Chain A
Amino acid sequence: MPYKERQSIVSLLTTTLVAVVFFVYVLPRYPTGNPYSPAVFHFWGLAVVILIPVSIAANIAVSIAFSIVYSMATQEKTSLVSDERDQLIELRAIRNGLYVFAGGFSLAMGSLAIDMPPSVMFIIIMVSGYGSGLVSNLTQIFLYRRGC
Chain B
Amino acid sequence: MSAWVIRNNIRTLRFHHDEMTQQQLAEKAGVTRQTIVAIEKGKYSPSLELAFRIARAFDVPLEEVFFVEDSQP
| Chain A residues in the interface with B (C-beta under 8 A) | 2, 4, 78-79, 81, 83-86, 144, 146-148
Contact = CB atoms under 8 A, between A and B. Distances in A.
A79 B32 contact: yes
Most chain B C-beta atoms within 10 Å of own C-beta, residue among A2, A144, A147: A147
Interface in B32-56: 32-35, 37-38, 41, 43-44, 46-47, 50
B32 A86 contact: yes
Contacts of B35: 83-86
B29 to A, nearest CB: 9
Nearest to A85: B35
B31 interface: yes
A83 B31 contact: yes
B2 to A, nearest CB: 24
Given A84-B47, A148-B43, A78 B38 contact: no
Given A78-B26, A147-B43, A148-B43, A85 B33 contact: no
Interface residues on B, range: 10 to 19
A146 B38 CA distance: 9
Contacts of A78: 23, 26-27, 32-33
B34 A4 contact: yes
Chain A, interface SS category: helix
B41 A85 contact: no
Nearest to A4: B34
A85 B38 contact: yes
Given A147-B38, A148-B38, A81 B43 contact: no
Contacts of B27: 78
Contacts of B38: 85, 147-148
Given A147-B38, A148-B38, A83 B44 contact: no
Nearest to A80: B32
22 contacts: A2-B32, A2-B34, A78-B23, A78-B26, A78-B33, A79-B32, A81-B32, A83-B31, A83-B35, A84-B35, A84-B50, A85-B31, A85-B35, A85-B38, A85-B44, A85-B46, A86-B35, A144-B34, A147-B37, A147-B38, A148-B38, A148-B44
